[in-house]
Homo-oligomer: A and B are copies of this chain.
């Protein structure tokens, strides 16, 4: 793997090899300001986690190294490099590109979303038509064989794509995007191969009749498109462009990926405003108003693209796709007046929905842990698991409708009953003409159509209570056991489907006391489940609004979301947070944990610190780069270059590699000054895309050069954020998190000591690390 080497760097400051420095005296300076007891050998946090519950464990990728991102740099390389004549035209290009990228992300995601829709509707549609056609000829076993066969073939295709090409494409993708935006760059999460598998795997998976959605995968797709743009294209696939270098820093890439995530939701739900809010509320860890503006533009592009295509398809050019318009589940025709009894019923619905939602999270967690054992055994086991679940799903979908009785078609229905030759409300299944099977109408449809059926208003008696109950139980558990197999699988649709069924069931049970339409109950049920699992508020509210076009129901939807989230929050965390944690990604929360207030910054600093002198021997640098995995090294100025030893700043590994590659060494310890930078191109020091930077092996330094000196000042970040060693750890954590840092220097409080005590990185703030150091601290719950 070309990124293998860089991968090791990910284990920031915590590498096992760094211990070796204590013996080998080749690096002359080291200093450790921490007490002896903390310096005992500890396994690096990440290595430990990789072996237990990391991403591999869950969907079976290869080893999963994690890179920390540095969002600190306030300015783009372009703006930072004042020492170079910055050209006006470049700045113009940069701004133009920012907007062009937003446009491209919007267009790309919109296109993918549309393509996904068409493909799913057609593949799944023709599959279902084949099955119902055979059913109508009473060839039940042939129908089942055709149905299950199609499903298994599609499932194997999706599973094989995931297992062999891009294991990172399995699952929802939202937790990974969320982690990326928090500063965690896990291996190949946003790679081109992941994008490819995500798009086609999602289409195949949804078409295969799994209880999965395309929403999470769409978010991941949008993020991948943005990432490929931001990384300057893909060298492996020969897609590069000179201009793209402007985005060679973590901050600009983060902004692009935020736009991509928003575009994904906008494309999946045809909800542009909901997309922006989703990115803001759930995905992003940092936000600024300029970003709101750009995200909004991106989702507007998505909306316009989708609308244009839907307009085009409404004339029947897209096969089975075409109905529906921009609103996916229009319920605006329903009467939305409600009484006090309705509100009580809705609150009860919210409470139970919250409990069921948090139970959903709990069960998903357990299932993922079990699956990880199977998935870890190899690609074929993954595919076997996919096949098993596919067959189980097919059996449920085809077997359970036999439990339902045939019902007489309503006489006043505006749609044909039973439905022939298209998906619709009334599936005939085994029933004779004039009758329909309500359970088959739910099971033998795409998930989208099933939701539409459940949301349909003024059709109170369409589904029997018993059918709803069977469907609810089946979908609830199928949804749980399907997430975690090796296909791209969104969580929104399973949750909405189960929630809508639950809501409609409650509506039927309350029909004697409540006037509200059962279709609206279904909507509120879906809201309660979403609130109970995802724990979002405003974004869910707006997404539901844009999905259903019913503004008058807004107060009730808000109420349900509030109730269900509150109830569910008392049991466990949101499903995405849970998965992030399960994958072992070192996610930094926005708030400090209460136990951090009992500690100071010095308390969590560990390991010997490796630092350089302002003008350092090449050999020393090379040795440090070879023997440690550190990504940042403090640079110290010492007499005669300063009055006393003082912290000059921090130098990054990647910059050191570029500097060494340039070979501008000198024989004496002299300050070479900024002019040395003139020998490098403007973007040599910019952050390369994944796997494209200079590697240690690329350096070709002979023994003679090892004794020469190099001036580190020009590449040193002279303004690192620092905290005093006695700073409360809680406040240090807030500083670290709010500013999106990768390294934070801890400086001594009193004088006459070495000018740096240590460096804090993301891992030093992780509960596992802190509680490992101080087992007596109890992480009590924060109010």
With A95-B783, A719-B726, A750-B643 as contacts: A545 and B735 at CB distance below 8 Å: no
Q: Are A590 and B288 in touch, CB under 8 angstroms?
A: yes
**What are 13 A-B residue pairs whose CB atoms fall within 8 Å in the complex?**
A75-B597, A82-B597, A94-B783, A272-B558, A273-B541, A299-B558, A304-B559, A311-B337, A326-B552, A644-B750, A644-B752, A719-B726, A722-B724
Q: Which segment of A200-208, A289-297, A363-371, A455-463 sits at the interface?
A: A289-297
**Contact across chains for A731 and B751 when beta carbons are under 8 A apart:** no
Minimum-distance CB pairs A-B, first 4? A300-B558, A719-B728, A303-B555, A296-B537
A646 contacts the other chain (Cβ, under 8 Å)?
A: yes
Confirm or deny: A35 has a beta carbon within 8 angstroms of a beta carbon on chain B.
no
Asked whether any CB of chain B lies closer than 8 Å to the CB of A255, the reply is: no
Q: Does A734 contact B (CB under 8 A)?
A: yes
* CB-CB under 8 A for A721 and B726, given A273-B538, A537-B296, A751-B752: no
Determine which of B287, B554, B749 lies in contact with A272 in the assembled complex, contact meaning CB atoms within 8 Å.
B554
Contact with B along A270-311 (1 / 0, CB 8 A): 001100110011000001110011001101100110010001
> Is A74 close to B, CB under 8 A?
yes
Q: Is the CB of B731 within 8 A of A74?
A: yes
A91 — which chain B residues lie within 8 A by C-beta?
Answer: 783
Q: Are A74's CB and B592's CB within 8 A?
A: yes
Beyond A537-B293, A735-B739, A738-B739, whether A272 also contacts B555 by CB under 8 A is: yes
| Complex Cα–Cα for A118 and B555 (A) | 21
Given contact pairs A296-B562, A719-B728, A722-B722, enumerate 5 new A-B contacts (beta carbons under 8 Å): A276-B538, A311-B337, A549-B552, A645-B751, A738-B739
User: How far is the CB of A458 from the nearest CB of chain B, in Å?
Assistant: 19
CA distance A639 to B606 in the complex (A): 30
Q: How far is the CB of A510 from chain B (nearest CB, A)?
A: 20
Contact A74 B281 (CB under 8 A): no
> A559 — which chain B residues lie within 8 A by C-beta?
300, 304
Contact between A730 and B552 (Cβ–Cβ < 8 Å)?
Answer: no
Whether the Cβ atoms of A281 and B292 lie closer than 8 Å is: yes
Contact A281 B272, beta carbon cutoff 8 Å: no
For chain A, residues 584 to 604, give those with C-beta under 8 angstroms from any C-beta of chain B: 590-592, 594, 597, 600
CA of A176 to CA of B74, assembled, Å? 29
**Cα-based distance from A307 to B559 in the complex (angstroms):** 13
A542 on the interface (CB 8 Å rule)? yes
* A473 CB within 8 Å of chain B: no
A250 interface residue (CB < 8 Å to B):
no
How many interface residues does chain A have, given as a range? 35 or more
Interchain CB contact under 8 A, A721 and B750: no
The answer to whether A750 touches B552 (Cβ under 8 A) is no
Partner of A292, one of B537, B542, B592, B734: B537
**For chain A residues 522-546, which have a beta carbon within 8 Å of chain B?**
537-538, 541-542, 545-546
A281 to B645, CA, bound (A): 46
Indicate if A727 sits at the interface (CB-CB under 8 A): yes
Q: Does A718 reach chain B (CB closer than 8 Å)? A: yes
- In the bound complex, what is the Cα–Cα distance between A549 and B783 (angstroms)? 39
Cβ proximity bits A740-755 to B, threshold 8 Å, 1 near / 0 not: 0000000101111001
Roughly how many angstroms separate A739 CA and B94 CA in the complex, as a whole number? 29
CA distance A307 to B343 in the complex (A): 13
Q: Are A300 and B739 in contact (CB under 8 A)?
A: no
Q: Tell me which residues across on chain B come within 8 A of A562, comparing CB atoms.
A: 296-297, 300
A395 at the interface (CB under 8 A from B): no
- Nearest CB in chain B: distance from A636 CB, A: 12
| Given A292-B538, A296-B538, A721-B735: A554 in contact with B273 (beta carbons within 8 A) | yes
Q: 1/0 per position for A540-584, CB-CB distance to B under 8 A?
A: 011001100101101100110010010000000000000000000
A642 at the interface (CB under 8 A from B): yes
Chain A residues 5 to 56 lying within 8 A of chain B, measured CB to CB, are: none
A682 at the interface (CB under 8 A from B): no
In the complex, how many angstroms separate the beta carbon of A657 from the nearest chain B beta carbon? 25
A327 an interface residue at 8 Å Cβ cutoff? Answer: yes
Closest Cβ of chain B: how far from A312's Cβ, in Å? 13
What residue in chain B is nearest A300 (Cβ atoms)?
B558
B-side contacts of A554, CB under 8 Å:
272-273, 303, 546
Q: Give Cα A644 to B750, complex, Å.
A: 7
B residues in contact with A555, CB < 8 Å: 272, 300, 303-304, 307
Give the Cβ gap from A248 to chain B, nearest Cβ, in Å.
Answer: 18
Mark interface residues in A668-695 (1 if CB within 8 Å of B CB, else 0). 0000000000000000000000000000
State how many angstroms separate the Cβ of A277 from the closest Cβ of chain B: 7
Residue of A300, A311, A718 with highest tally of chain B CB at under 10 A: A300
> Within the complex, what minimum Cβ distance (angstroms) separates A667 from chain B?
29
In the bound complex, residues from chain B placing their C-beta under 8 Å from that of A303 are 554-555, 558
Alpha-carbon distance A565/B99, docked complex (angstroms): 14
**Which chain B residues border A723 with CB–CB below 8 Å?**
722
Closest to A598 in B: B82
Interface string of A623-652 (1 = CB under 8 A from B): 000000000000000000011111100000
Residues of B within 8 A of A281 (CB): 289, 292
List chain B residues, Cβ under 8 A from A276: 538
Q: Scoring A residues 751 to 764 as 1 if CB is less than 8 Å from chain B, else 0, what string do you get?
A: 11001000000000
- Chain B residues with CB under 8 A of A718: 726, 728
Q: How far is the CA of A437 from the CA of B234 in the complex (A)?
A: 66
A724 — nearest CB in chain B belongs to which residue?
Answer: B722
Q: How far is the CA of A94 from the CA of B337 in the complex (A)?
A: 36
Most buried by B among A299, A538, A542, A735: A538
- Contacting residues, chain B, for A299 (C-beta < 8 A): 558
User: Which chain B residues lie closer than 8 Å to A592 at the CB level?
Assistant: 74
Q: Is the CB of A590 within 8 A of B289?
A: yes
The CA of A98 and the CA of B45, in the complex, are separated in Å by: 37
Chain B residues whose C-beta falls within 8 Å of the C-beta of A546 in the assembled complex: 551, 554
Chain B: minimal CB distance from A9 (Å): 24
A643 neighbours in B (Cβ, 8 Å): 750-752
B289 near A287: Cβ-Cβ < 8 Å = no
If A300-B562, A304-B559, A538-B277 touch, whether A327 touches B719 (CB-CB below 8 Å) is no
